[in-house]
Structures are given as structure tokens and as C-alpha cells.
Structure 1
Amino acid sequence: MLMQPEHSTMKSWCILVSLGLVCFLHDALSCPTLCRCYPRRPEVVCNMAPLTEYPSEGLPENTTQLTIMFTNITSISEKHLNATPLLRGLHLYVNQLQNLSSHLLRGVPLLHTLELTENKLSHLPLHVFKHAPLRSLVLKNNLLQKADADWISKDSNLTWLDLSGNLLTKIPTTLLQKLPRLENLDLSDNRLEKISANSLDSVTKLERLNLQNNKLDAVDASVFQNMHNLTYLFLTRNKLDKLPQNLFQGLAKLEHLSLEDNQLTHIPPGLLDPLDSLENDGLDLSANPFLCDENLQYLWRWLQKNKKKVFLPETVTCAKPQSLAGRSVLSLTETELNAQS
């Protein structure tokens, strides 16, 4: 009599295992048309152009990674994502997405990576990225003119935000104020015209900042003052013609700085002195129209002492005066510089 309950319990356990195995096999065999399913990961990849609607039907419920790319899907809703409640990574590259529903991520509470590179998104609804503990959000190469703070919840977990390749004209300050953990910010290939004071004050943990290929012609002297963890700073291909003398004060951890292809004619005395952590080849000053006169002596002396830290130092050349045009700054003598006073 004492053995019967134990036997009954074991029988029930075996049935549950069998049911679980049946469910697993059912998920393994289930896969939407035009997609490939990898049950062991568990991952689904859909990359067929004829796909025009989100493939909710047939998605294995235990899917944790979903990639949809090179399709003609134009919209995704909260209802679609409810089919995969265990989703951790959603990668939506090179589709035709124009619309995302509000509260899109409510049914995927474990999602930490969302990539929406190269779609047709011009506007996103409020609360679109709330409800999931996102750590990485990529909105690269879309048509966004504004980045709204109401996309995400306060005190977000985001450490990686990529807004490159859009139509932004301003740094999204109110959005950044909700990102205290942000480590990587990419705003390259937009239409930013200036970096205002305090616009980056909230992202004190930032390690990489990419502002290259914008229309920046001015940078406030205090803009980087709270970014003590910054190691990479890219300002390539802008319209900067001068830099504040104390711009890099406090950037003791900076290892790579790119100022290539701007409109710099001089480097103010002391500008580069705080950058003790620059690695070899860590500074790029090429493709600037330097005026090689007595006011360039600070840069000339710094280059003499820190040649190894400069990427292709021979490409730091004079644009004017005509007598020195094309000469490497390093090749000049102090007498030649003083002669151009």
C-alpha cells in the first residue's frame, strides 16, 4: 500500500516527460514557409524576398533568436511578437518596414537585442521600445528625423544605441537622459550641425562616440567634460574649422581620436596635452587645410614628440601658404614656420 503512491507519482512523471518530448518534437518540426529553423539553438532565419508578412504562423514557441532580412515585410505589431514569448534577439535587416506598433515589445519580456538596420522607418510611435530590457538597439540607415525620449522607459538598460544613417539634425538630448548605462553611441552619417553644451552630460559611462560624417561646424568647450570613460571619439568628415582649447580636458582614457577631413587650419595650444592615453596611430589629423605659420608651432612641437601616436603622420600637411603647400608639418623647421608670421 505504501508503494502505490510512489508508483503513481513515477507514472505521472513519465507521462509529463513524454508530453514534453512530444511538444519539443512538435516545435522542432514546425517552421514557417520561406524560413529555416534550427531547433537546437533555437533560432529561426527568414531571408526570402517573397515574404510580405511577418511569419507568426508556424514559429516555434521556444524561439530565442529570430532573423528576418531581405524581405518585403512592411509592418510588425505586438500581436506578431506574441508568438515567440522567449525571444531574446530580434534582427530585422534590410526589409521594407515602415510601421511598428505602439507597445511593440510587450509580449517579449526577455528581449535584449533589437536590430532594425536599413528599413523605411520615418516615424516611430510612443512607447514602442518599452516593456523589454533592451541592451542593444540599432536603428541604422532609416529615415528618422527625430529620436523621441518617449520611445523607451526611464532608466533604460541600453548600453548600445545606433542611430547612424538617418536624418537627425540635433543630438537627442532628452532621449540620452534616459540612458544612464549607455556605453556606445553612434550618430554618424546624419545631419547634425552642432554639439551644444550639456547635450551629452547624462551619458557618463560612454566609451565610444561616433559623430563622423555630419555637418558639425562648432563644438561647445564643455561638451565632453563628464565623459571620463570615453576611449573612442570619431569626428571625421565634418566642417569643424576650430576647436576650443579645453575641449579634451578630462578625457584621460581616450585611446583613439579622429579629426580627419575637417576644416582645421590651426590646433590651439594645449589641446592635445590631456590625451596621455592615446595609442600608437590613435590620432588622425589628415585631410585638414592647415595654415603653416607661427601659430602652428604648438602642433609642430607636439608631433615631434608624439609621432608614433599619429596615424600616417606624413599626411598632416600644409594647405597654405603656397610656398609650403603639400609639405608635411613634421618636415618643417621652426625657422620655416616663423618666417610665415
Structure 2
Amino acid sequence: MKTWCALAFLWLAYFCHGTLSCPALCKCYLRRAEVVCNEVPMIEYPSEGLPKNTTLLTIQFTNITSISENHLNPTPLLEGLHLYSNHLQSLSSHLLRGVTRLNTLDLTGNKISDLPADVFSHAPLRNLVLKNNLLEKADAEWLPDNSNLTWLDLSGNRLTQIPAALLQKLPHLDSLDLANNLLEKISANSLDQLTKLERLNLQNNKLDTLDASILQSTQNLNYLFLSRNKLNKLPQNLFQELPQLKLLSLDDNQLSHIPTGLLDPLKSLDEEGLDLTANPWVCDGKTEYLWRWLQKNKEKVFLPDTIICASPPSLMGRSVMSLTESELN
């Protein structure tokens, strides 16, 4: 009888609480092979006690400062590792050597300023998020050649450039987020390998122009975010190879004119898919192309009546849409 009761207790513990073993300050859910740790007092990675069959591990809002290959070895079946908003400052080289099924690694909101070579090799990562850290440079040596990544998020760091050698290792990438950095230039051929790219976010950087050929290989691009930069001129053929583009944000830049024909290739823009607001438009003869395009494509433009003339003084504050042909000339 006692044996039967003991077995019944173990059975209840197993299915009600998800596991018989679970690290302190964590919750383990055996049925979905998931562990969640979100307690501030935690200062070390909870290797001991983690169920060996764990496939999804979330550690957030703790005081953990480092993580190594040895920490991950007890969970070889891991597929998703989410380390949000901790105090991680360093990752060991060959970090992922023991988790050969890991496809998602999210390190958002830590204090990582530098990373060793090969840190993201040895696992078939498809999603890598390094958002809101302290990185000042990105390095091609982080990743293996012909990486499986489809999603790379480096937004919210201190990057001044993105090496072409890094992007050349990402032929499967469909989303690249470089927003909220300090980028001043994107080199001419750096995106040539990204033929599957669908989403490119460059907003809130320091770009003042873009090379005419920068987007020539990204024909699958659907979303392009360029707002809050310092763009003051754009090449006439910049969007020539973007027939599938649905959304384009150019707001909050320094554009005074756009070249004739710039917007003509954008046949697939969504309703309100183009944002040109908050630019210092000079309303003169050179604005006639923009004026005519707006008249024909008003439904594709976000708040078209708020695209405002900054000069000349006689037209300052007027909506470009409201101008007459004689006023432009």
C-alpha cells in the first residue's frame, strides 16, 4: 500500500508540476519540455537540475553575467534559448558546441560589448537576436560560412559599420534589423548575397546617402525602413529592382528633392505604404515629379497632406499636394 501511494505521489508530481527535477527560482513544464527562470536573485546559469529533455529555455530579468559551453551541455536537445534582459557581459567561444539542435538564440537587452570568434558556430541557428546590447562592431568570424540564419537582429547597439564579409555568410537571410545604431554608410555590394531578403530595417542611423547599386540583388524585399537618418539625396535608380516592395519609410530625413522616376518601380506599395513626412521639401520646378506622382498615387502615401514645403518662403507650410503647376514653375 505504501509503495502504491509513493508511486501515486510521484505520478502526480510528474504531471502536475511538469518534472521531478527543476532548478531553484525556475519553473519546469515537462509536457512541453520548457523551463522558465525569471527571478532577479539568480546570479548563475542554472545548469544543475535542468531536465535533460529541455527544448525551450527562457532566462530573463536575472543578474547572470556570463554563459559558457559547459552551462549548455546538460541540455543537448535545446532548440530555443531566450536570455532577455539579464546582465550578460560575455559569452564563451564555441558556446553552442553542445547544443546541435539550437535554432533560436535571443540575447536582447544585455550588456554584451564584444564577442569571440566562432561564438555562434556549431549550431544550426535560424534566428539570432542581439538587440539592445553594447556592441561597437560586428564580426564575420562570429558565424560559419553559409550560415542557416534567416533572421538577424543587431538593432539598438553602437555599430558604425556592418562588414560585407558578415553579410556574405547569410544567403538564407530574410530579415535584417540594423535600426538604432550609428551606421554612416552601407558599402555598395554588401547586400549582394541577400537574395532572399524580405525585410531590411536601417532606421535611426546616420546614413546621408545610399549607393545606387545597394539594393540591386534584393528583389524579394517587401519592407524597407529608412526613417530617421540623414538622407539628403537618393540615386535615381535606387528602387529599380524592388518590384515587390510593400512598405517604404523615408520620413524624418533631410530630403529636399527626389530624382525623376525614383518611385515609378514601386508598383506593389500597400495602401499608405510610403512615408515621406518630416523632410525639408523645397517646392520648386524640381518638385514637379514628386507632385505629379502624389496626385496619381495618393492612396499609397501615408498622410499625403502632411508632406510640407520648407521653402521657398512664399510656399512654406503648404502641402506639396495642394500646389498648382504654376506655383511649382
What TM-score bracket applies, with the shorter chain setting the length? over 0.9
Tell me, which stretches of 5 or more residues in structure 1 are unaligned?
1-20
Report the 3-state secondary structure (helix = DSSP H, G, I; strand = E; otherwise coil) of the residue aligned with 2:19: helix
Structure-to-structure mapping, 1:61-140, within 5 angstroms: 61-140=52-131
Matched, 1:239 2:227: no
Deviation at 1:88, TM superposition (A): 0.3
Q: 1:51 aligns with which of 42, 47, 71?
A: 42
Matched, 1:308 2:299: yes
**1:159 touches 1:184 (CA, 8 Å); kept in 2?**
yes
Identity across matched positions, percent: 72
Larger C-alpha radius of gyration, 1 or 2?
1
Deviation at 1:27, TM superposition (A): 7.7
AA paired with 2:214?
Answer: V
Q: 2:24 aligns with which of 30, 33, 57?
A: 33
Matched, 1:331 2:319: no
Give the distance between the partners of 2:179 and 2:225, measured in 1 at CA: 9
AA paired with 1:99?
Answer: S
Report the 3-state secondary structure (helix = DSSP H, G, I; strand = E; otherwise coil) of the residue aligned with 2:321: helix
Tell me, which stretches of 5 or more residues in structure 2 are unaligned?
1-10
- State the partner residue of 2:243: 252
Coordinate RMSD, CA, aligned: 1.4
Q: 1:166 aligns with which of 157, 161, 164?
A: 157
Which stretches of structure 1, 4 residues or more, deviate above 6 A after TM superposition? 24-27
Count of aligned pairs:
317
**1:242 touches 1:264 (CA, 8 Å); kept in 2?**
yes
AA paired with 2:196?
Answer: K
- State the partner residue of 1:293: 284
Name the TM-score, length of structure 1 as normaliser.
0.91
Report the 3-state secondary structure (helix = DSSP H, G, I; strand = E; otherwise coil) of the residue aligned with 2:328: helix
Deviation at 1:195, TM superposition (A): 2.0
User: What do residues 91-148 of structure 1 show as CA deviations (whole Å, max 9, x unaligned)?
Assistant: 0000000010000001100000000001010000111011100000000000111111
Give the distance between the partners of 1:198 and 1:307, measured in 2 at CA: 33
Matched, 1:182 2:182: no
AA paired with 2:71?
Answer: H
Q: 2:270 aligns with which of 279, 298, 315?
A: 279
**2:204 touches 2:226 (CA, 8 Å); kept in 1?**
yes
- State the partner residue of 2:260: 269
**1:195 touches 1:218 (CA, 8 Å); kept in 2?**
no
User: What do residues 172-205 of structure 1 show as CA deviations (whole Å, max 9, x unaligned)?
Assistant: 2111111100000000000000122101111111
Give the distance between the partners of 1:307 and 1:241, measured in 2 at CA: 23
AA paired with 1:76?
Answer: I
- State the partner residue of 1:5: none
Give the distance between the partners of 1:148 and 1:260, measured in 2 at CA: 30
AA paired with 2:253?
Answer: N
- State the partner residue of 1:193: 184
